Structure 1
């Protein structure tokens, strides 16, 4: 199937995709504030520029879009056009994520990846369930983990 937009329009649309203050980041920020957890956002001095840095517990949180970071859930769909280009681009994102995760762990940071599907969509977790899992991980001092629609999982 051909793209419905010309190249210039598609390029303009792609540039408009936000890299900060996204809806999922705003929801997570609200949950952290409700729990009284102090955080900083998008620290460029740390590998991967984590979306949230919680210094008190030496942990960082990434909010990963399921498409851009190739999560195996219903929100990820392989594009029908320029498939090879997109799979290569997304593959590079996944490689960079792995590299950044290892660098952060080496520096002594714990990492939580919060997937978009846990924050929005038909199977999202409600605020109480999400808050409980986040607080449990932050305060529990556990290892690196991820949260998706199925709950929390160690990596």
Structure 2
């Protein structure tokens, strides 16, 4: 159990550093979670594409698409 806790915490910290590094370089960041693309929580592809298109024309620096709530 400890292994997985440390692994997940490490992944979260790494993702935050990577996101901040990209923002610091002037990039905008859209995160699409794997669960949004496949599995029980996946979203319809048209919904994902629409959310990405909306974000692209927005002024938001960070966007995120997660899987659907069960």
TM-score range, shorter chain: 0.7 to 0.9
Greater relative CO (CA pairs within 8 A, separation 6+): 2
Match of 1:84 in 2: 2
Bigger Rg, structure 1 or 2: 1
The number of residues matched between the two structures is 68
Task: State TM-score, norm by structure 1.
Answer: 0.41
Q: 1:113 aligns with which of 21, 27, 31?
A: 31
Q: Name the CA distance, whole Å, in 2 between partners of 1:145 and 1:87.
A: 26
Match of 2:66 in 1: 148
1:141 positional shift: 3.7
Match of 1:132 in 2: 50
Match of 2:41 in 1: 123
The structure with more strand, counted as a fraction of residues: 1
1:133 positional shift: 0.5
1:147 positional shift: 0.5
Q: Unpaired runs of 5+ in structure 2?
A: none
Quote the RMSD (CA, aligned, Å). 1.4
Match of 1:28 in 2: none
